[in-house]
Structure 1
């Protein structure tokens, strides 16, 4: 599919316009988006991506349309997986809830810039060196294997990487936020706020995400325009999606397995394509190897099928529901106890209400899953402290009393 310069120009202008609109009308004024706001705008961005795909299908043909949708679905799924890490980074930096939108939008813009650079670099390598398909395939197979390894808990994702440590040494930093400012005055000195550091952390992780994201989509199409637009539209709306599925992120306990299967599948597809186009001297004397190639339509079917199965298995799993409630209870209790997490009294009440809901979910699942909470004394102590703090707020008239009793009863 050949794309003229003016189509490229209009597409880029449209994407930049959507990002600018997002900032001016949603992010510039710090606030916590409601569930309805997040749902409406998430649906709108998905609708824009689908309409664009229909345009590719009409003007580019069935193959181009299938490649776009396969790339979009894959990149969207990988983006959702990235939200897990964003969630942990922001919890590590104690980013106030109302300021999280700004951090996420920065992450999206940085990811788009970084991945655009990787896209053009990848395209140049593919056009120059046919063996790059072998490299991309190997990267995806290794990434798939790493996704199956058990994580070392939340500590394994702590946002304290090399770049941040260097930044702290070069520029003095404060531990306290000053609204959404990147710099503030502390004891008469200009210092960084954690807001700048969390943006550095998310920007750094975006570069790492691109290392598996870009080879994955090049495994589905080598058309640079389709690669760029599928990647860009998968990132647009990610901010709204974060607030929409915030409470469900931990619920997707089998998503990593599904993504590992998809990346492994695309890795095999890339290696088969590399063998079909082979010119590496030590493989078959530099001659193409007669192997079957995987069609784009089959790729799209496999990708959607794997995602449907793993998401459905996660949502219907009792263990998944229990683990989600426990993880969210831990996060909400920590946020409620942190006086700097939010300045909005209604938001604090919402957090405590969520905490009670999660308590009820665990109780409803039965003795086996209640024992999962009792086996974590640190979590029990955290929940007790949150309940005591809320009781104090009620006594001072700063919170509404709840009709339900203590969290750990």
Structure 2
């Protein structure tokens, strides 16, 4: 029997944090660290490069874990909460894909090789989880205490959509002008020469940030900006902090594997940006009109999936551009 709506059992929280602890340990490369200590191998010699096949396996694993947890929510909280979780998960996952283009751009600009990228992403995902939980609690509290904030959040999603429509494609990241890099330089000097897998390096007794730390700073700031869009979007589906937190965290956990899976295929997602614009406009409208007209969560889930499937199919069907010589 489902328990009363809005009440989450202690057991479900314990299961969530147990899964979170194990998956974070795996994602941070705990197995490889143990192997390094047993074989007495240096970290630079045992940098693990995730293959496409391995990335596909881990992506399926993360999605399966989210599906299993959705089943637990169904038996503990009922069908409505399960649908809210799935919708929030799909929404956060789709919005996160756009974030991966930034990851690729950052690593390319700083010349960080494939074997060191996983280290930056692992640390970045861990800090992103902590940041998301804090922002979700603040956002849910604002909506509970100040109902008019729903119009602010809805307007924010509309503003983001318009900005994406007007925004030109970024070809490169200008490090000297980047806000994250400028903030980092206020705390320590930056050395843009790669020093293995180290985030910090001592030069003449002074600690310098390496390209890995610069990449991490840019990724963290970028994720903060993306969170300002994705969290209000999920809060439009449900204001239950448990559902918002768990759906967000499960979506973030698989990002590293998903990045290595689609890293070489990102140029094929021709219609991702238009799809995300439509998605944000829909969610923003849902929030703004919520006082006058309520869109059912099932309807939202169907619309989200229709948009995502349309984007994927249209992108795959589009023929790649060829040059005149070809």
TM-score (norm 1): 0.72
Q: 1:211 aligns with which of 228, 240, 249?
A: 228
For the aligned residues, what is the CA RMSD? 1.8
Query: 5+ residue gaps in structure 2?
Result: 34-42
CA deviations on 1:315-348 (whole Å, 9 max, x unpaired) are 1111xx23xxxxxxxxxxxxxxxxxxxxxxxxxx
Aligned pair partner of 2:240 in 200, 223, 229? 223
The 5-angstrom pairing of residues 85-124 of structure 1 reads 85-124=102-141
Taking the TM superposition and a 5 Å limit, the aligned residue runs for 1:18-33 are 18-23=23-28, 24-25=30-31, 29-33=46-50
Asked whether the 8 Å contact 1:114–1:206 carries over to 2, the reply is no
| Residue of structure 2 in register with 1:7 after alignment | 12
CA distance in structure 2 between the aligned counterparts of 1:43 and 1:79, rounded to whole angstroms:
17
Task: Report the equivalent of 1:304.
Answer: 305
Contact 2:125 2:252 in 1 (8 A): yes
Deviation of 1:185 after TM superposition, in Å, equals 3.3
1:169 is displaced (CA, Å) by 4.6
Q: TM-score, normalised by structure 2?
A: 0.89
- In 2, the alpha carbon distance for the partners of 1:113 and 1:170 equals 22
Matches within 5 A, 1:219-258: 219-258=236-275
1:185 aligns to what SS in structure 2?
A: strand
Contact 1:110 1:206 in 2 (8 A): no
Structure 1 residue runs of 4+, over 3 Å off? 26-29, 157-160, 185-190
Q: Which has the higher contact order (CA 8 A, sep 6+)?
A: 2
Q: Which residue of 2 aligns with 1:167?
A: 184
Q: Name 2:278's counterpart in structure 1.
A: 261
Q: Distance in 1 between matches of 2:163 and 2:187?
A: 34
* Partner-residue secondary structure (3-state), 1:179: coil
CA contact (8 A) 1:90 1:198 kept: yes
Give the structure with higher Rg (CA): 1
SS at match of 2:152: helix
Q: Which residue of 1 aligns with 2:193?
A: 176
- Consecutive unaligned residues of structure 1, counting only runs of 5 or more, are 277-290, 323-368, 375-408
CA deviation profile, 1:174-211 (whole Å, cap 9, x unmatched): 22111111122335544221111111111111111110
Q: In the TM superposition, what are the counterparts of 1:60-71 in structure 2 within 5 Å?
A: 60-71=77-88
